Structure formats: C-alpha cells, structure tokens
Structure 1
Amino acid sequence: MSRGLNIAVLYAVAVEGWLLRETRFPGHNVVLYETGMGKVNAAHACTLAIERHHPDLVISTGICGAYPDTGLVRGDVAVAGREVYGDEGVVLHDGFHTLETIGIALFRDGQREWFNTFDLDEQLVDYATGLLGCVSGTFLTLSACTGTLVRAMQYKEMFDPVCENMEGAAIAHVCLMTRTPMMELRGVSNIVQDRDLGTWDIKEASKNSQQAVIRLITSLTPDQAPKQGLPLKERFTA
C-alpha cells in the first residue's frame, strides 16, 4: 500500500502560518515549524525537523520584500530558483565581495564547493511555478531588512534578486548538507525601497503564500510517495 509524503513546512512567525495550522492534509504527514526570525533560528528548526521527521520535502514559506522592476507587486507569490546569502563575504574599498573572494566555502561535497549560492532543483521549481502560475528567481537572505532604495539597487546590481527575506538560504544550506529536497515560496508584502510600513500588506502576503503551500501539497497524491529510493524530484510531473 502506498503512503503519502512526509513534508515539513517552515515559517518564521505566527502570522505566516495561521492558515496552515487550520488546514488538514489527508494522505500526507505534514509537520509545521514556527522557526523564529533569522538564519540561526531557521537552520536550527530545519535541522530538528529533518532529524525528527525525515521529510521527503522541506517547504520554506512566509513573506518577502520584492525588489523594484522585477514585475512583482504586493500580494504576488514567488518561488525560489536560487538561494543566496547576501551578508557573508568581505567588504573592500571597492565594495562587497562574496566568500569566493576569500576562498572559504560554506559547504564542500567531494570536489564541489558552495559559497553564497544554493541552486534549487529545477524540476521542483518548474512544477511549482507551473502549478501556481507564478515567477521564480533568486531569493536573497539578509540579516537586516533593506530600508532604502539606494541599498536595494546595490543588492540588485550584486545579486539580481527578485526578493529578500531572512531565512531562506539557511534552510537551503541545511537541506543541501542533509540531502533533503527543499522548496521556498513566499508572498510579497512590500516593495524594497525607502521604508514605509503604510505601503505594506503583511496579512495579504501571508495568506497568499499559505494558500500556495496548501495548493502545492494537496496537488501531490499518495502515489507520489517514495518508491525504491527514487529521489522526490523524479516523482513530479509538471
């Protein structure tokens, strides 16, 4: 008899998970973790989720700030195609440089090295964007929210992100280390510019991101559960 998927859903704060907490997912074992804000909290919670529940898939969700001129507006949902640490590196006279400049990798596996960037599984990304009808792109993870348009444009030039948050790359990092399939999707609460909370809509962004997660999970059937050790990505069809 086939079984459903073990899925761990991670979000930082309560407003990002209220709808998920009220939802049941027949056929799947879904666990929810309210991680707390920031990289360390997210990495810690992700590690606990993987050790305790051995998920077939980790989904990171919540709100984000979209960068200008990406086509994203408040309320939109975006899917991460790549996760990037935006703070780790070195600042020289000519500006910020990533960890590749100093030659210190965050993770090594054989001959491969990962510095600031974690590319996510293309098949999973294509599945989610096709299902949800949304865009994908680079998600930038920062320790401090960007509150000026000048700084936003600097990040755009350095990393070409579609949005920023404070947890995603840390979760991708842990999932890479443990070889756990991972996705991230977020709702846009604001445009990254000179900070004006009056232009934000956290409630709508949180609702839309959670609805997208619910739609994604419920689109999977128990027949897509692991069979003969096949990677989860081989069980997805767009």
Structure 2
Amino acid sequence: MNHILIIMAMEAEAKPIINHLDLNPLGKLDDNLQSLAFSGKINETRITLVINGKDKRFGVDSIGTVPASIATFSAIKRFNPDLVISAGTCGAFKNKGSKIGDVYLSTVFKNHDRRISIPEFDKYGIGNYQSANFEHLIDEIGLKKAVVSSGNSLDMCDTDMDIINENESVVKEMEAAGIAWVAEQFSTPFVALKSVTDLVDGELEAHEEFLINLEKASKALKEKVIAFLELLTKKDIKEKLLV
C-alpha cells in the first residue's frame, strides 16, 4: 500500500494525529474550497490527511456529508490513494454496549435521514455501501466493529431512530456515508474508524456530552488510528480488501 488518504471533519479531532505523525501542511486542496491537506510518511507509505476546513461564512468546522464528499472527491482526484479512511467521532448507544471512548471499525455504511418512499430510490437513500474488510485487525488493535449510520443532524427524530434500528447500526455520525458514495464512484477501498463522544440513550443531551468528551474521544481516536496505520503499512493486506 503506497498511499493512504485520511478524511476528517473537525480540526480538534485531526490535530492529535497531525501532531503525532508530524505531518507537513500542503495548503488548500482547491482555491475555491476551505479543505486543508497535510502529508507525511509511515514505514515508507505516504499518508495524506485532509480536513474539511472552516465554513467560509460561519467560520465553524464544515461537518456533514456534503463538505466531506467534496473534500473526498477533490482529494482522490489529486492524490489517487490506495485507501481512504474516514476518522472522527460519533454517537453510539449504551443499550448496544457502547462506552465513551470506544473506537469502532466500519463494516457497512448507511444513511438514516434520506427517506425516499419510491421503489428502488428507497434503497438508494439508505445506501448500504460496503466497507473495506479489516476485521482481522480488530483484536490486534482493540477495536469494536459496527454498521456506521450517517445523517446531517446532531440530534435525531423518532424516524431516524427507527431507521438506525432497522439498519442494525451501532454508530451514528455525519460524514461517512457521503465519503463512501464518492469512494465507490472511484472504486477506491474505504474504511472508517469512529470514536464515541456521546451516548444517544444516555442522560445528557447529545451536544452537551459531545463537548464534554471530545478531547477524550479524540485522544482514543488518535491512538487507534496510529495503531491501524502502523499495521497497514507493515503488512501486505491488499488481497484482503473487500469492496
């Protein structure tokens, strides 16, 4: 594996990884975008990390499937990576065995807020994008595995919850399914690592728990992403990718 691309939504999530790997800034992906790229190496494998960037008007991290999709499209076109990784934080469920700081490896990506009640379009709305298969590394790194569900709201309505349960999703976040769609168009293998900041069925509101646990979850994410990259760059596992 010669080149791995990491896509991240929030600067606070990305900084620990950038600092640990001592990645060098490459500047903007495109003059019209706020997405920023950083580059370095692990075990002779090139690592490029892209942050969605700050919104032009609002000055906040560009979270959500649209900025993530555009950043991924631009980065794949520019860097032609062998693998794309979505690394970030997520919500999860206490009643499904999740704890704050758990880090999950993706198995499948689905949407929970694209409700299209027309035959075939309903399946398109859910997505059901396959993850590259690295389940053989779960025990070695200390990860959990999960169906990852994406939506563009931090909170959820009852219908979202129903769809998440129908999809057997354990993790909910705001970018991965959009990235998965782009990666599928390019036939580029894609996987996600997601660290839990908040429990949907916990006692606190999602936004409160997210802010309280962001630093802890980002630290856990950094540790698992680094361990994952170390293994990927030491072992020839291309033949084990399932896309």
Superposition TM-score tier, normalisation by shorter sequence: 0.7 to 0.9
Q: Are the equivalent residues in 2 in contact too, given 1:27–1:222 (CA < 8 A)?
A: no
The Cα offsets for residues 14-64 of structure 1, whole Å up to 9 and x where unpaired, read as: 011111111332411111100131111001111111111110111101100
Following TM superposition, by how much is the alpha carbon of 1:117 offset from its aligned partner in structure 2, in angstroms? 1.1
Residue type at the aligned position of 2:103: V
Q: Does 1:27 align with 2:44?
A: yes
Which one of the candidate residues 173, 188, 195 is aligned to 1:180? Answer: 188
- Cα distance in 2 for partners of 1:134, 1:222 equals 18
Deviation at residue 221 of structure 1 after TM alignment? 3.5
Which of 108, 125, 131 is matched with 1:82 structurally? 108
- Whichever of the two has the greater Rg, that structure is 1
Q: In structure 2, do the counterparts of structure 1 residues 156 and 40 end up closer, same or farther at CA, with 3 Å as the change threshold?
A: closer
Q: Percent identity?
A: 24
Question: Contact 1:79–1:128 at 8 Å: present in 2 too?
Answer: no
CA distance in 2, matches of 1:220, 1:181: 13
- How many residue pairs were aligned? 208
From 206, 227, 238, the equivalent of 1:233 is 238
| 2:9 paired with 1:12 | yes
| Alpha-carbon spacing, 1:86–1:23, altered in 2? closer, same or farther (3 Å) | same
Q: Give 2:220's aligned residue.
A: 208
Q: Which moved more, 1:57-66 or 1:81-90?
A: 81-90
Q: What do you get for the CA RMSD once the two structures are aligned?
A: 2.5
Give TM-score, length-normalised by structure 2. 0.76
Unmatched runs of 5 consecutive residues or more in structure 2: 22-41, 53-61
Q: Return the TM-score normalized by structure 1.
A: 0.78
1:161 Cα deviation (Å)?
1.0
Shift of 1:233: 3.2
Do the aligned partners of 1:139 and 1:168 also contact (CA within 8 Å) in 2? yes
Aligned to 1:171: 179
Letter in 1 for 2:239: E
For 1:19, give the aligned amino acid: P
Distance 1:192 1:79 in 2: 19
Question: Which stretches in structure 1 are left out of the alignment for 5+ residues?
Answer: 91-96, 108-113, 225-231
